[in-house]
Amino acid sequence: MTHHRIPALATLGMLVPATLLCLAFVTWPILESLRLAFYEWAGVGKQTWVGLDNFEAIAKDPRVVGAITNNVVFAVVITAFSVAIATLLAAAIERRVRGWRFFKVVWFIPLVIPMTVAGIVWANAYDPHVGVINTLLEAVGIDAHPWLSDPGTALAAIMFVAVWQTVAYPMIIILAAMEGIDPHIQDAATVDGVSPGRRLLHITLPNIRPVILTVILLQLIFSFKVFDIVWTMTQGGPGNVTEVLGTLVYKEAFTFHRFGTASALAFLSSAVITLVAVLFLRRWQTGRSSAA
């Protein structure tokens, strides 16, 4: 049998376009942003070298601590609720409960809606005067509430929308993992009279543990990078109650025209995300070693 080998030149020719695109749209912007973090620049005109002044400024800025705290809370809550709900939905669909096709479609729809659009729609729904949520509450005798302008409920209202928006992604992945379990194991559990709840806890979840952990890590990263839904719903307000690193970077760059500080904040955000991912992976590896 004759094996046709692609010449090395042809292989190189296939790699060059992708490499150039990666360098132009990924590597160069990252390096340029890192360089800009050491300069003072208003977006136009001369760039002035300031060394570590931008990093010192954000270290002393109380808004940064609040933004990081909100990021952590947002990421943990969204990940916990979205993965838990996704697992229950996937289990129900895998068991083919009544109406499973309907639920599969309904929960998948939010995923294809742009998050910016979802934020605008939900911001209108939360409107204290004409929003559908308060209209429904008043219809059953509950007073209207300014969900997004009340510091006590603004972040929770946004997180509710984020869970609604993101639950479909882990649901699809977890469902695929559940359907990949050997059917003989499930059949044996059925014959032994194992209840659906015990089957989920003691058979299904242990068999898909690596997938669950991967989904948790991805959700943590995606949730920590939140910007669009917060910006469209509250722009970080009221005050700084819903401020996250993404909105803070945007304001520093395009409201206050401090692009150097914005670049330093962007790298702080990347560092925190990387730290979270590394700690999670180490914990995962430790758990696997202990189990082995």
Half-sphere exposure of 262 (CA within 13 A, CB side): 19
pLDDT digits (tens, 9 = 90+) for 69-105: 999 999 999 999 999 999 999 988 888 888 888 877 8
What is the model's pLDDT at position 283?
77
What is the model's pLDDT at position 162?
95
Q: What is the dihedral of CA 230, 233, 239, 242, to 10 degrees?
A: -30
Q: How far apart are CA 169 and CA 215, in angstroms?
A: 9
Q: What is the pTM of this model?
A: 0.87
What is the model's pLDDT at position 1?
45
Q: In the chain, what percentage of residues exceed pLDDT 90?
A: 58
What is the model's pLDDT at position 161?
95
Q: How far apart are CA 166 and CA 219, in angstroms?
A: 9
Residue type for position 114:
P
Q: How far apart are CA 262 and CA 266, in angstroms?
A: 6
Low-confidence ranges of the chain (pLDDT < 50): 1-3
Q: What are the chain's domains?
A: 37-291 (1.10.3720.10)
Q: Is 258 helix (H, G, I), strand (E, B) or coil?
A: coil
Closest CA to 104 of 113, 117, 95: 95
